[in-house]
Structure 1
Amino acid sequence: MPEKTFGDVLRELRRERKMSQEELAFRSGLDRTYISLLERGLRVPTIDTLFKVSRSLGVQPEDIVAQIKAGR
């Protein structure tokens, strides 16, 4: 199984919460196009971004990292 990227995990978590990219962007204070770029792997998140999106999704940042590492 190929490893998951940040974008894969982000998209999966967002969809599990039935949240649009626009809603996630609004809640996290980011631009919707930036969320799209993250999900498609065209941008690498900063630590600040990781904390913003994890808070908006209701998960701990370390849980996102663990999912990436585990290839969830």
Structure 2
Amino acid sequence: MVNKFLQKEFGARIRYLRTQEKLSQEQLSFKTGFHRTYIGMIERGERNISLTNIAVFSKAFKMDISDLLDFKNQNPKLSYQDYKFKTDS
């Protein structure tokens, strides 16, 4: 299982983009069709969302999925080595 690190990084990215656009969670929920509490859970790193839902966020923020998944804006020292999986020893 992926540790919470990646979920928290994605959640921080969503929160960063939302606040950059001066949107409340409720306003973002109208743009995405997701419930406000679901967005809050994503931002806190509590949800492991699907690729389909990631695409919804990328459309809401008017960016490519690859740009949405670029976490280096918030964490320049981030590396693929920070991601841990159950297969890692």
Q: Give the TM-score range, shorter chain.
A: 0.7 to 0.9
Partner of 1:55: 59
Equivalent residue in structure 2 for 1:15, among 19, 31, 39: 19
Give the conservation status (yes or no) of the 8 Å contact 1:24–1:53.
Answer: no
Partner of 1:32: 36
Runs of 4+ in structure 1 over 2 Å off: none
Secondary structure of the 1:5 match is: helix
User: When the two structures are aligned, how many residues end up with a matched partner?
Assistant: 70
Identity %: 33
User: Unaligned 5+ residue runs, structure 2?
Assistant: 1-5, 77-89
State the superposition RMSD in angstroms: 2.2
Secondary structure of the 1:43 match is: coil
CA distance in 1, matches of 2:24, 2:62: 15
| TM-score, reference length from structure 1 | 0.84
Give the conservation status (yes or no) of the 8 Å contact 2:11–2:45.
Answer: yes
Which is higher, the Rg of structure 1 or of structure 2?
2
- Matched AA of 2:31: R
Higher helix share: 1
| TM-score, reference length from structure 2 | 0.69
